[in-house]
Amino acid sequence: AIDISKLRAQTGLITLDPGYVNTGSCESSITFIDGEKGILRHRGYPIEDLCEKTDFLETAYLVIYGRLPSQAEYDRFRDDIAEHSLPHNGLSRMFEAFPKDSHPMALLASVLPSMYAYYPYDENDPAQVDKAILRLLGKIPVLASWVYRKLRGWPLNYSNPDQSYAANFLDLTFNTPANRFKLDPDIVKALDLLLILHADHEQNCSAATVRMIGSSQVNLYAAIAGGMCSLWGPLHGGANQKVLEMLEVIKNDGGDIQKYLDLAKDKESGFRLMGFGHRVYKNFDPRARIIKKHADRVLSKLGINDPLLKLAKELEEAALNDSYFVDRKLYPNVDFYSGIIYKAMGIPTEMFTVMFAVGRLPGWIAQWREMQSGSTRISRPRQVYQGETRRDLMSMVKNH
């Protein structure tokens, strides 16, 4: 690799790479992706093995701390997270200021930087930094469930430390006396799997944002808030919501798949096939493969025959036989099938990106920790200026 800062100092050269298509922003040991082969590994462990042999907390520990926990470390991690799971009442009161039809991401992303007001910490004290990490892992799922309940006008629930992370989230969110939520082990396992699949994905838009913001040495909560806002966009984590909305539109339009493929190929239309394509994967996104397999299982377990799953499979099949998508190596990404499982679990479409955020939290934390422990240089890209050169100023305003 070329050290650009040395080269620039010697030559005055600036690389122009809009969208950072070919620019490495850091060295990292967290996540490995081979986009040509469709390989994803965290700390060297294949994503398929992590899905089969760990739960979300174990994967989160691995991603954040770099190695698998011993049983004692795992138990301690789980207990510490549970101990720090109760959000301050002031944070839930913030939600009351929002309109009832707010997007859930607006609430969750707003509350994050405010955590520093309730839990300030000394950045130079590693024990306090660790506590901030546990607070995020403990409180974010609770706050995410509170967003859902607040928008419905339901009373809030509190964490049950005896349940797994995934079971606790489902229980927190859906349990009401009128609707006693039964934690089906297969549904809990499916959510756990979805969380694992979202745990990290190297220098994606939101992780790069966390590093960019964090490089100013702002507190962890503010850096994660930035990542969460970046995730919200439809080209990133917001795509899971858009996929389901797109499938509904196609279904309601008579299921005319070819019409929408043609629309996606027409650059003037402004329409893209949501859940398709990836900056790094030029092959199947391994996460999409795993989710697709589980979508069938979850839906049949719940006795749901969702026409959207059938439509999604037909759309995938048609795109993979279309030279436009084949030539550009556009395959389904993680967001293509995840929404169908979330929907089957009873999670409303507008909550999908919140679910992504809960899963991605360990990745953001790990990227932030790695950045903090390495170069402390502020991230500050350069530009190629294209504006006016020097002009003489003659003001046209008479009354200032």
Matching residue, tokens 């070329």: 2
Among 78, 139, 272, 294, binds ligand ACO (CB under 6 A): 272
> What number of chain residues touch ligand ACO (CB under 6 A)?
20
Among the options 278, 294, 306, 327, which is catalytic? 278
When the beta carbons of 179 and 269 are compared against ligand ACO, the nearer one is: 269
Site for ligand ACO in 190-219 (CB under 6 A): 204
Supply the angle between the helices 286-301 and 335-344 in degrees, to the nearest 10: 20
Q: Which two tokens stand for residue 399?
A: 């009354």
The least distance separating ligand ACO from the CB of residue 272, rounded to whole angstroms, comes to: 4
d(C-alpha 157, C-alpha 305), whole Å: 31
Q: Are 312 and 340 in contact (CB under 8 A)?
A: yes
Residues with Cβ < 8 Å from 87, sequence gap 6 or more?
139, 142, 143, 146
Is residue 274 a contact residue for ligand ACO (CB under 6 A)? yes
d(C-alpha 204, C-alpha 226), whole Å: 13
Among the options 171, 200, 285, 335, which is catalytic? 335
Within 10 A of 170 (CB to CB), how many other CB atoms are there?
A: 23
When the beta carbons of 14 and 235 are compared against ligand ACO, the nearer one is: 235
The least distance separating ligand ACO from the CB of residue 100, rounded to whole angstroms, comes to: 29
Q: Which two tokens stand for residue 11?
A: 């030559």
Q: Which two tokens stand for residue 13?
A: 């050269």
Altogether, the residues listed in the chain come to a count of 400
Among 77, 119, 146, 276, binds ligand ACO (CB under 6 A): 276
The least distance separating ligand ACO from the CB of residue 267, rounded to whole angstroms, comes to: 6
Q: Which of 36, 342, 41 is nearest to 200 (CA)?
A: 41
* Nearest residue to the partner ligand ACO, using Cβ: 277
Among 104, 141, 277, 363, binds ligand ACO (CB under 6 A): 277
Site for ligand ACO in 278-337 (CB under 6 A): 278-279, 328, 330, 333-335
When the beta carbons of 304 and 326 are compared against ligand ACO, the nearer one is: 326
Active-site residue, 294 included: no
The least distance separating ligand ACO from the CB of residue 200, rounded to whole angstroms, comes to: 11
Q: Which of 330, 329, 347, 327 is nearest to 338 (CA)?
A: 347
d(C-alpha 209, C-alpha 212), whole Å: 5
Binding mask 15-54 for ligand ACO (x = CB under 6 A): ----x-----------------------------------
When the beta carbons of 172 and 264 are compared against ligand ACO, the nearer one is: 264
Backbone φ/ψ region at 39: left (φ over 0), alpha (ψ -120 to 50), beta:
beta
When the beta carbons of 139 and 343 are compared against ligand ACO, the nearer one is: 343
Q: Which of 394, 278, 381, 395 is nearest to 335 (CA)?
A: 278
Binding mask 218-247 for ligand ACO (x = CB under 6 A): -----------------xxx-x--------
Q: Which two tokens stand for residue 83?
A: 């101990």
Q: Are 110 and 33 in contact (CB under 8 A)?
A: no
The least distance separating ligand ACO from the CB of residue 202, rounded to whole angstroms, comes to: 12
Task: Write the single-letter amino acid at 354.
Answer: V
The least distance separating ligand ACO from the CB of residue 304, rounded to whole angstroms, comes to: 24
Active-site residue, 184 included: no
The least distance separating ligand ACO from the CB of residue 197, rounded to whole angstroms, comes to: 10
When the beta carbons of 33 and 225 are compared against ligand ACO, the nearer one is: 33
Q: Which two tokens stand for residue 283?
A: 């092959």
Task: Write the single-letter amino acid at 173.
Answer: T
The least distance separating ligand ACO from the CB of residue 249, rounded to whole angstroms, comes to: 15
When the beta carbons of 85 and 353 are compared against ligand ACO, the nearer one is: 353
What is the chain's alpha carbon radius of gyration, rounded to the nearest angstrom? 22
Q: Which of 223, 231, 212, 214 is nearest to 116 (CA)?
A: 223
Among 151, 197, 264, 357, binds ligand ACO (CB under 6 A): 264
Catalytically active residues, by annotation: 278, 335
List of residues contacting ligand ACO (CB under 6 A): 19, 204, 235-237, 239, 264, 272-279, 328, 330, 333-335
